Chains A and B, each alone.
Chain A
Amino acid sequence: MKSRIILFFLSLFIWLLLCWPVDGEHLLIGVLVAGLVAFMTGDMFVKRPHHFLNPLRYLWFLYYLPVFLWECLKANIDVARRVIHPDLPINPGIVKVKTSLKSDTALTFLANSITLTPGTMSVDIIPEEGVLYIHWIDVKDKDIEKATEIIVRKFEKIISKIFE
């Protein structure tokens, strides 16, 4: 039931943003459609709804955003430098790293963060063993532990505080 209420308010919020100058007709249609969606698919949206009431998680999320955007900007400058260099200074390979995260949302956010940060892109995840395969444009170390230290650590701490 809590899951349905969360989905109802989320979809109503997105609908009101899509037709921004809010008036009565849009609000009525939005309530009807969001109620229908929440009634039909609400029970598979979130499994642990009590996490949404914890304000500490929102604070960690606000801390996560500027870190993520700064890494993203660094990644873009790095890729642009590699592309316009005459000799193409790349040294690619697929390495294997380990993670301690378990839930699906946390793994998804970890993979997205890895894809948009400097030089790395996630290729496959095995959630049972906690293993990620990562394509690295400039391989510094083939060892599992050291690659984990370089790639995953800085996001894993923040994401485990938000989504675990």
Chain B
Amino acid sequence: MSVQSHDQAGLAAGLRTSDKPLGRDDLARLVARDIKPGSFVNLGIGQPTLVSNYLKPEQNITLHTENGMLGMGPEATGDQIDGDLINAGKIPVTELPGASYFHHADSFAIMRGGHLDICVLGAFQVSATGDLANWHTGAPDAIPAVGGAMDLATGAKDVFVMMTLLTREGVSKLVETCTYPLTGIGCVTRVYTDKAVFLTGPGGVQVRETFGCTLEELQAMVPVPLTAAPAVGS
């Protein structure tokens, strides 16, 4: 076991890729960079939408919006605004050459059928085994609204979550077991936070990189066991 520990120490030393926590835009830039060229991607409402600002044309990414479109372009401005052309957040958007429109059952068949490579979602909590809670606080007076969250979580080949690691009260949103109502079970594959990137799955939680903290400091904030991920491509 000492060999493994030694490896872990070596890996942990190379994990810190930034001296300070990442801001929302830096995190969006990182997610955009990690999306493989040619992917079909759905970006959830809120923070994940920022990712589109950092996708490069040479990545050749096709964006899906669940209200019925592939090939969605940037947000519409001025004369481009057309009430018949909106995204899932009901914001006017544009179409890119090669775009297509389809009805709602087809749009969700695209998700459920496993045709999307990646969806990027926000979260209230993610568990160590990749369970996701992002639709409902469960508060008794809250009016529940789910939209396409469960379909996205269940359908895409990879589910990336973007969130701050800690709540405003300083509690970790990466948890052993979600206490908020679940969106999907074992669906999250990566968690991008301001303090670290985590890989989740049946083997537990691995840390790919940290921002402004060491693995030890990170472990002190998070109530699930963390290990350093083997470096990719080394």
**Co-complex (A, B):** no
Residue positions of A touching B, CB distance < 8 A: none
